[in-house]
Structure 1
Amino acid sequence: MSRRKVAWTCSPIPVISVRSLGSSSRGNCHVVSITDEYNIMLDAGIPLKGLWKKGLAIRSIKAVFITHSHGDHSKSVEELLKLGVPCYMLSETAKELGVASNHYVKLLPEDGFVRFEGETRWIVRAFRLEHDVPCVGFYLCAGNERLVYITDTYYCRYTFKDLTHILVEANYSVDILNQRYMTSEMHSKMRKRLLHSHFSIDNAIEWLLANDLSKVKEIRLLHLSDNNSDADLFIRKVENATGKYVTVADA
């Protein structure tokens, strides 16, 4: 599959920051702060009680964007909807979660931006990823800041210009995966599923190098497998390949 270069623009507003509240099979959730009191959430795989314990003020969340229906990305959707927080997702995802009729569910357009106006102006666009259920990544543009969020996919056909923040999955190392498979620590079905549903560290690096990284401030590696990854090794490999500042999101 060929990659598509994408360039989207929006109006200037303050610098964004990102806080990762969870990034593993136990739960995935990242909060993007556009201003002190204006945050959005990327995935909601942690129960509301867990979010409170992590110090998140739910009232500051203006919108939640769900990549797909798996519980480690959508666990608190129903709780958030009960509180009146708008949750954006694919129509397929809404049906899979049984929330399609909820007033606060906002369906993502197949081809177009979700625009937010007022004092804080920003846009989000979803783009299709390749997983074992319908899944999307998200591109966020806020002034001169451009963030992309990619998780739970084995391929991304899109590349982007002028990115400042990259959150990208690096779930496993093929070498570690094969070693565990050869020593019977991993079942063949699990190995096959990972290879056809998640980014390896090599997938992540290949995709990163296809993008314009000239303005990138941080590359954050997501969703590292407990048994099939090596955080220190992954950081070194991505730093060596890109020359950029690299971190691993807290699990």
Structure 2
Amino acid sequence: MKVDILASGSKGNCIALTAGESTILVDAGIAKTKIEKALLNVGITPNKIQSIFITHAHKDHTKGLPLANKFKIPVYAGDDEWKSIKDIDEEIQYKLRPNNDVYIHDYQVKVFSTHHDAFCPVGYSFHFEGFKVSICLDTGKVDHEMLEAMKDSDIYIIESNHSIPMVEASDYPNSVKARILSDVGHLCNTQTAFALSKLIQGKGERIYLTHLSSNNNIPALAKMATKRALKKRGFKENKHYRLEVIE
């Protein structure tokens, strides 16, 4: 499975997964022209995208969705999330229900609920010929059902959004701080690290820490939190797992 993280963070999120002849996008949160250019830079022609899966309808995950109209790409999102997704041709809209499995192209896709301030935010686990990739972005907490949906993955793409002390010391309004730190906000480094300590089995899994706040996090902090949590499990980086922080 080839993973290309085309964009990550509050300015936009977009991930390309390629298995065999099938390429899908998860989120399209940068301008469509930037998505096209980023795809070409990693050797993928935009007309080869077979589907787009949206985690939720905030602009940093949907800004580039006009790409779907241009190339007639099916777009999948949580059923109620379509209340916030505009200007997508009706014939390429597909509604998903959390906790269901769908079969699309060569993939089996497990859809699981996340916790964010949107109508129907979801995460995804993609299965392809015995290989599993789980993607969890924009959630204020990771619950048991989410862990069950993601377990036994070969690749984990998960947000490690902020450092709590940095948020608390920031000049953000108190209302914004409360949103970020709430159960429908974003994962802090320690929450992400704890979740990964429950998921990683030391079989060489690949971890991508994504959606880092440019104001309230530092890549070294995010990486250190996960490494420390996994060290307590007896796992060493580059021996039992591989870790990459996406800025």
Query: TM class, shorter-chain normalised?
Result: 0.7 to 0.9
Partner of 1:59: 47
Superposed CA deviations along residues 168-221 of structure 1, whole A, max 9, x for unmatched, are: 1011001212232xxxx2221111111121010011011112224333521101
- Give the match for residue 143 of structure 1: 129
Going from structure 1 to structure 2, the CA distance change for 1:192 and 1:174 (only over 3 Å counts) comes to same
Q: 2:233 maps to what in 1?
A: none
1:49 corresponds to 2:33: yes
C-alpha distance 215-142 of structure 1, shift in aligned 2 (>3 A): farther
- Aligned equivalents of 1:209, 1:238: Cα separation in 2: 8
Please say if 1:177 is aligned against 2:167. yes
Question: How far did residue 38 of structure 1 move?
Answer: 1.8
Aligned to 1:125: 110
Residue 188 of structure 1 is aligned with which of 157, 162, 174?
A: 174
Q: Greater share of helix residues, 1 or 2?
A: 2
Of 208, 221, 226, which residue of structure 2 is paired with 1:220?
Answer: 208
The residue number in structure 1 matching 2:245 is 248
Q: Distance in 2 between matches of 1:234 and 1:100?
A: 36
> Given that residues 194 and 229 in structure 2 are in contact (C-alpha distance below 8 angstroms), is that contact kept between their aligned partners in structure 1?
no
Q: Is the 8 A contact 2:69 2:88 kept in 1?
A: no
Does 1:29 pair with 2:28? Answer: no
CA distance in 2 between partners of 1:48 and 1:149 (Å)? 21
Structure 1 residues 103, 221: CA separation in 2 closer, same or farther (over 3 Å shift)?
A: same
Give how far 1:228 is off: 0.4
Paired residue type of 2:108: I
TM-score (norm 1): 0.84
Q: Would the alpha carbon gap of residues 90 and 161 (structure 1) be closer, same or farther in structure 2, given more than 3 Å must change?
A: closer
Q: Which amino acid aligns with 2:166?
A: I
Gaps in structure 1 of 5+ consecutive residues: 1-15
For residues 244 and 200 of structure 2, the distance between their equivalents in structure 1, rounded to whole angstroms, comes to: 19
* Count of residue correspondences: 227
Amino acid at match of 2:243: V
Q: SS at the partner of 1:245?
A: strand
Structure 1, residues 28-62: CA drift from partner, whole Å, max 9, x if none? Answer: 00001112x42110111011110122224111211
Partner SS state of residue 146, structure 1:
strand
5+ residue gaps, structure 2: 231-235
Residues 113/228 of structure 1: CA separation in 2 closer, same or farther (3 Å cut):
same
TM-score, structure 2 as length reference? 0.86
Q: Any conservation in 2 of the 1:81–1:105 contact (CA below 8 Å)?
A: no
- Closer, same or farther: CA 105–155 of 1 in aligned 2, 3 Å: same
> Residues 245 and 111 of structure 1: is their aligned pair in 2 closer, same or farther, counting only changes over 3 Å?
closer
1:126-170 deviation line (CA, Å, top 9, x unaligned): 111111112101111112211110111111222133211000101
Distance 1:93 1:79 in 2: 18
Structure 1 residue 101, shift from structure 2 partner: 6.6
SS at match of 2:25: strand
Q: Distance in 2 between matches of 1:43 and 1:150?
A: 11
Secondary structure of 1:103 counterpart: helix
Q: Check conservation: 1:17, 1:34, Cα contact below 8 A.
A: yes
Q: What secondary structure is seen at the aligned counterpart in 1 of 2:196? A: helix
Amino acid at match of 1:52: E
